[in-house]
């Protein structure tokens, strides 16, 4: 590490999410007034019959603002054909380009060519429309290895650029560049082995890239979900960060460390509001550490005045929004947009306990965008509107 890199590392004030923070959540009151998301009374109708949709996000500009298109925001979504076991969708996930309009959703097909991704499936990321109004910078997760006999859990953070065009009212992305691997886990800050036993919720992480330009320095960074290297705990989730300069990308110490508390701090993203930076992530009750306090499945976050911190837990605990107690699995993978609307997907709707077989899981799994929720942000406090 060079002297300049060491100086940057010294400036980062990693937020330690502790068992005490999680224990203080209690029955959810630690999230502040209105922490529970509204109940989804019935599963929303699929926007693409025969296709499951889960993580999805709008195309944004470099400042994180949702780009306005005629007909509604363009959306990139993880999709898979409906399978008997919805958990199997992760092994065949492909990204689609869609549009969320006032009169419903339109499907423009797969975002990337079949042969572009070096992995066996595509996982979540983020999509930037550059200032020229036509160049897409697409940061995404490539999972597995092309041609592998069984799905592995290799995860790579990739960047590719393409051209957005419109014809006949339909959007299309083409001319994609060869994917560039942004950074790789070093086994010093971030764990390299991602198998974690292979069970859902137990695998390790190096995924979900989120690009952000530091509003103070103008330097580009990428946040990502990762696992702490050298941990003695099986629950070692962190939110990592890398910086880009003339020499390329450099790994930096994590912004958030949940070592010993939680295994997955998924889909980290930052919203700028009232001169502050709000860093959000999603996690599930089942990935909190055995024997420790367990928070609800929900949206969590911290706030700071600068990207490198110091970060403070929102509402004193980190909890921002939780699924209601009577429907603890109803939604997941929340994304807060610049207007403070919150997107997620409808997961297991209308059940209070996990289904005990595949058929019951399939019957409960909605696999489609959930109703939009709205937040208010007031310094270190948040609330759910309505």
pLDDT digits (tens, 9 = 90+) for 228-249: 999 999 999 999 999 999 999 9
pLDDT of residue 12: 95
Low-confidence winner among 28-42, 116-130, 233-247, 339-353 (lowest mean pLDDT): 28-42
Residue 1: pLDDT band with limits 50, 70, 90 = very low
Q: Which among 285, 386, 284 has a CA at the least distance from the CA of 344?
A: 284
pLDDT of residue 30: 54
* Residues 163-197: tens digit of each pLDDT: 999 999 899 999 999 999 999 999 999 999 987 76
SS3 89: helix
Per domain, the residue ranges of the chain are: 18-385
Residue 30 or 245, more confident = 245
SS3 315: helix
Q: Using CA atoms, how far apart are residues 373 and 268, in angstroms rounded to an integer?
A: 18
Q: How many CB atoms lie within 10 A of CB 105?
A: 18
Given a contact cutoff of 8 angstroms between Cβ atoms, the answer to whether 90 and 155 are in contact is no
**Which residue has 């969708």 as its token pair?**
89
Given a contact cutoff of 8 angstroms between Cβ atoms, the answer to whether 235 and 258 are in contact is yes
Q: Using CA atoms, how far apart are residues 145 and 292, in angstroms rounded to an integer?
A: 35
Q: Which CATH class is domain 18-385?
A: mainly beta
Q: Where are the beta strands (DSSP E) in 177-275?
A: 180-181, 206-213, 220-227, 237-245, 248-257, 266-273
pLDDT at 31 exceeding the cut of 50: yes
Q: Using CA atoms, how far apart are residues 146 and 10, in angstroms rounded to an integer?
A: 39
- Pull the structure tokens for residue 291: 């024997």
| Interacting residues of 286 by C-beta distance below 8 A, sequence separation 6+ | 201, 297
pLDDT of residue 26: 84
């Amino acid at each position: 590490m060079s002297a300049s890199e060491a100086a940057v590392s010294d400036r980062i004030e990693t937020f330690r999410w502790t068992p005490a923070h999680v224990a203080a959540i209690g029955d959810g009151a630690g999230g502040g007034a209105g922490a529970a998301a509204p109940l989804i009374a019935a599963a929303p109708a699929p926007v693409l019959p025969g296709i499951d949709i889960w993580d999805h996000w709008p195309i944004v500009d470099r400042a994180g603002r949702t780009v306005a298109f005629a007909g509604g925001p363009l959306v990139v979504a993880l999709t898979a054909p409906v399978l008997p076991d919805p958990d199997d969708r992760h092994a065949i996930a492909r990204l689609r380009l869609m549009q969320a309009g006032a009169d419903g959703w339109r499907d423009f097909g797969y975002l990337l060519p079949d042969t572009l991704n070096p992995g066996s499936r595509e996982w979540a990321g983020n999509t930037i429309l550059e200032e020229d109004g036509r160049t897409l910078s697409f940061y995404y997760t490539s999972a597995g290895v092309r041609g592998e006999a069984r799905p592995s859990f290799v995860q790579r953070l990739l960047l590719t650029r393409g051209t957005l065009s419109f014809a006949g009212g339909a959007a299309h992305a083409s001319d994609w560049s060869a994917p560039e691997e942004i950074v790789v886990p070093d086994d010093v800050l971030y764990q390299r082995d991602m198998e974690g036993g292979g069970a859902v919720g137990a695998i390790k992480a190096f995924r979900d890239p989120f690009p952000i330009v530091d509003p103070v320095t103008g330097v580009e960074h990428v946040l990502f979900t990762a696992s702490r290297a050298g941990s003695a705990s099986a629950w070692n989730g962190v939110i990592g960060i890398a910086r880009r300069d003339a020499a390329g990308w450099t790994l930096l110490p994590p912004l958030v460390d949940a070592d010993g508390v939680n295994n997955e701090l998924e889909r980290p993203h930052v919203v700028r509001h009232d001169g502050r930076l709000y860093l959000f992530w999603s996690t599930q009750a089942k990935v909190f550490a055995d024997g420790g306090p367990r928070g609800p499945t929900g949206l969590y976050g911290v706030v700071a005045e600068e990207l490198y911190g110091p970060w403070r837990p929102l509402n004193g605990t980190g909890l921002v929004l939780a699924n209601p107690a009577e429907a603890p699995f109803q939604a997941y993978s929340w994304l807060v947009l610049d207007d403070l609307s919150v997107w997620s997907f409808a997961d297991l709707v209308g059940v209070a306990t996990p289904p005990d077989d595949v058929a019951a899981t399939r019957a409960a799994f909605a696999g489609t965008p959930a109703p939009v929720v709205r937040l208010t942000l007031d310094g270190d406090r948040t609330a759910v509107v309505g």
